Structure 1
């Protein structure tokens, strides 16, 4: 009998120990599952597979935090992982806003991954993120943003003067430079802002125009404006990351590249079907003239870049170094291809 009791106690103790060993992370994103979150979903899948289900991630679409508060949530340990966009709170993540400068010349998602991860690896970025108890895990690469709108297309700089546009970060600054009036409402609120007339146009990547419904209100889309993109890292709480076992941390770190590859493959399929989407929704594809594009770049690119370097340097950041790193990484990536 005593032996049976001993065995029962041992089994119970093992059960508690097994339960204690399992690691479960909460991940805060927003909207709904879409191309923008596929690398996070893939990461969760791979980590669970590699650890035999002992390390799992619960991806919450808006149930844990508002988009603009995800970095704050990470800082206090409200959840272990989150996605955020630099333009939502530029003062909290100043160093990575170099990636949101307009007209950087990044042509595709692979180049966006390369320049983002190079900048993320800079000590100044790691130091700034550590102030929020955050460690950047990977980027959420997005193609160049373009506008959707109703009425007459905003296909010249004159027509953009006074235009109320949902745009964040450097893209917002670019439109401001040509007389636009940018507002940084969170992505889930863009449809309502457009519907109610708070904004005339919305600047998004293709997946977001679909996911947040702005394409459903649009009568036109600018195919080649390409003023820039938004940088949206996936971060983890430093304490949670350091609390992982060696095996769990290896499972997480070793899954990043495959998750990014999955993201790129998935997004590529969306881009391949974009013209079909426009035709299906009867949205006019608007091409901006070369002369207007050159005027836009001349007005926005250099002045905004120079001002960013001046402002960030005055705040003690190695701004010129970060910008040069971005440029050199872009050149090396293209040379390697």
Structure 2
């Protein structure tokens, strides 16, 4: 009887250790705070835990693991297993996906942004580009067109942007240069202090970020229809960590991406945008709307030259740049 009990105890301990061996925890590096921009990652964590009965968990950190501009570096050395970053933070490190940040691409919805981003992410040259950082692209963070909140005198015409210091990254920065503004690249977490201290006079953000990072607290005006472009901010996994997952855990992760993106878009189009108008009204922020002729001239001056320059620069780096641009432009407005 004693031997039987000992055998049961050994078996129980073995089962316990086997259970522990199956448990997987990933650290996920984000920044700021939970907001519309991170809802797909939050949903992914929820779904993965549910599908694996808690055996696979994503531990999400808002700034505790890395600075946002260093998330890709952290992924490359395996400091954490998953992260979000924006292509415009370090264009030299991820040139292939900066095609999605070109100004005036004409993307009209989050759904279209999602489809085009996923198509670009699936291109072998893009995957090889990110593989240099041991990173596998999982999903985008679709964002609407950026517009500008600023302090001081409002630029009533595009000519009024001359000399205006604007926080603008990627292609939006190129657009600002075209109207003789002075674009400045800084991370989202630095923006409020820069605006309050006068380092910049205006900030280009999507609506959720204007609310999350406080530009609406001091802003006096915003542009309703400048729509110069947006930024592309993928969520990536460390490639080695992804390969080390069990088949079941990998399927739980990858099989939850579509549902996570659905949740993200529903949240952004619903709750987030429902807050935007009332917030502007509550803060007394003046709306600036430009006429169609001015905007058409702006697009014509910026879009073509920026795209041509991007193709030339990145072809020289060995990327199939024209092919990547054609994927994007071929999908805009196509419904594909």
Q: Flag whether TM exceeds 0.5 (same fold).
A: yes
Q: CA deviation at 1:331?
A: 3.9
What does 1:220-231 correspond to in 2, within 5 Å?
220-231=221-232
Measure the CA separation in 2 of the matches of 1:259 and 1:24.
Answer: 19
- In structure 2, C-alpha distance between the alignment counterparts of 1:122 and 1:85, rounded to whole Å: 18
Counterpart-to-counterpart distance in 2, 1:155 and 1:83: 36
- Of 316, 319, 332, the match for 1:317: 319
1:21-75 superposed Cα distances (whole Å, 9 cap, x missing partner): 1011100000000000000000000011011111110110000000000000000
Paired with 1:125 and 1:268, the residues of 2 have a C-alpha distance of 28
Unaligned 5+ residue runs, structure 2? none
- Is the contact between residue 178 and residue 299 of structure 1 (CA under 8 Å) also seen in structure 2? no
Q: Normalising by structure 2, what TM-score? A: 0.97
* Residue 305 in structure 1 maps to residue 307 in structure 2: yes
150-159 or 138-147: which moved more? 150-159
Cα contact 1:166–1:203 (8 A) shared by 2:
yes
Contact 1:114 1:330 in 2 (8 A): no
TM-score, length of structure 1 as denominator length: 0.97
Deviates more, 1:40-49 or 1:288-297: 288-297
Mapped to 2, the partners of 1:22 and 1:155 lie a distance apart of 58
Cα distance in structure 2, aligned partners of 1:71 and 1:102: 24
1:180-259 paired onto structure 2 within 5 Å: 180-259=181-260
- Contact 1:93 1:128 survives alignment (8 Å): yes
TM-fit CA distance, 1:2: 2.6
Give secondary structure in 2 for the equivalent of 1:273: helix
Q: In the TM superposition, what whole-angstrom CA distance separates every residue of 1:191-246 from its partner, at most 9, and x where no partner exists?
A: 00101111010000000000000111101110100000000000000011111111
| Counterpart in the other structure of 2:332 | 330
Query: Gaps (5+ residues) in structure 1?
Result: none
Q: Number of residues paired by the alignment?
A: 334
Corresponding residue number in structure 2 for 1:129? 130
2:115 pairs with 1:103? no
Q: How large is the Cα RMSD of the aligned pairs?
A: 1.0
Name the SS for the 1:140 alignment partner: coil
Q: In the TM superposition, what is the alpha-carbon distance from 1:278 to its structure 2 partner? A: 0.8
